[in-house]
Amino acid sequence: MANGSCVDVRFIDSVKGRGLFSTRDVAAGTVLFEEKPLVCAQFLWNEFYNYKACEHCLRSMENAEEMARRLSANPSLVLPHLECCKVKKDNFVHCPHCQVAYCSSNCREEAWNQYHQVLCISHHPPDPNQPLVILQEVWKTMHYPPETTSIMLIAKMIALIKQAKSKEEIIAVFNQFCHVPHNEEMELSHKLLGKQFKGQYEALQPLLLNALYEESVAQWFTPDGLRSLFALIGMNGQGVGSSSLSVYVHNCDDLDLEEEERQNLDQFIDQLYVDMEKESGAFLNCEGSALYKLQSSCNHSCEPNAEINFLHNNSTLSLTALTDIAEGEEILISYLDECSRERSRHSRQKELRENYLFTCDCPKCRRQCDDPDLTSSEEEEEEEEEMEDCGQSEGMNPDEVSQDR
């Protein structure tokens, strides 16, 4: 699953479990490994609002101009330097049965051989009474944007097992992921699914059973088993985003232009992002979630020495060194975004406990251990705003979500 790897998974202790360690000295900027996911699924609302992505690898399938027009709600927008857009539509193909889109015949073949035979809905448009369609529609009524996972990630896990020549091998891989104690599963699942999580499991469980039951993992089809699956995703899932527009902008940055033309292009792009944010908010990418076997072994630090990137505009994950890393040194990423890492120790610890159920003991937290356990008033206001935003999103209905996305 991983290419060019210079890392090794080792057992640390009964508290931390496994960790990822460098097998040689590496310099800052080195790509430590690249890894395709075991499973990856686009968020259902993201797909519904015409964020066109490959069903298998989540590659963005609009060209940069199409994406910019949709996100800015400006159908006459013309992008300069379209040679910087690398989308190759001639390579796009569809499943001949359900018309699901793929960025290449390779992706279509891999999907068919791994899981899509089980998930293929042979009618186009799909029959609304088909069990898998019902499951997806019920999920969408429960989990509005901003999305944190998708029922289709679980569906693909099950489909992988159903199609596998050796079911035991695939099940063993999923069992290697970090699991949380049974008494903590409810707390983690609550964070992932929202306030109505208990009712959600009761509603989803019979629909999942009816759509995809697999005897070899019969325990997954109980309410407790489904909760355990979401807890597993909450602990190990990795968000994935792709954007042909981001690739275009990055390539524009590399153009060799006269100063005046460079200034005009930069101003154009800056204004484009203002217009897109006004129309589409923070929802600019094709978004989904995935499970990665190697990346899931990375432990957290508030001062990470590596970071996750998606350098190929698809779900292939790249882990890049932020600092020089010595042979035998543990490779650490941050589970927090850059803004959260700059907050107080108290705020960081609070977020990590709520979302990952552990107390951080990294060097930065140890240095700040004597800081008062108080959140600044500025941070408190930000957290209140975030909670309000989350509350609004949980109460949204389809009519309240912009149809332009």
For 237-296, write each residue's pLDDT tens digit: 999 999 999 999 999 999 999 999 999 999 999 999 999 999 999 999 999 999 999 999
Give Cα separations from 362 to 15, 234, 294 (angstroms): 14, 21, 21
HSE of 318 in the Cβ direction (CA atoms, 13 Å)? 12
Tell me if 355 sits within 8 A of 189, measured CB to CB: no
Task: DSSP letter for 95, please.
Answer: -
**Average of pLDDT values for 103-121?**
97
Q: What is the pLDDT of residue 385?
A: 56
pLDDT at 243: 97
**One-letter amino acid for residue 288 of the chain:** G
Bridge partners for 41 per DSSP = 289
pLDDT given for residue 181 in this prediction: 72
**Mean pLDDT score, 56-62:** 97
Mark 379-391 as b/e (b = at least 16 C-beta within 10 Å). beebeeeeeeeee
Query: Cα–Cα distance between 132 and 127 in angstroms, integer?
Result: 10
* Beta-strand pair 306-309/2-3: unpaired
Q: With 70 as the cut, is the pLDDT of residue 190 above it?
A: no
| CA–CA–CA angle 71, 120, 228 (5° rounding) | 80
Residue 2 has pLDDT above 70, yes or no: no
Give the confidence band of 390 by pLDDT, cuts at 50, 70, 90: very low
What is the average per-residue pLDDT within 165-193? 82
For residue 15, what pLDDT band results from cuts at 50, 70 and 90?
A: confident
pLDDT at 89 over 50: yes
Q: Higher model confidence: residue 185 or residue 109?
A: 109
For 213-227, b/e burial (b = at least 16 CB within 10 A) is: ebeebeebbeeeebb
User: Does residue 294 contact residue 20 with C-beta atoms inside 8 Å?
Assistant: yes
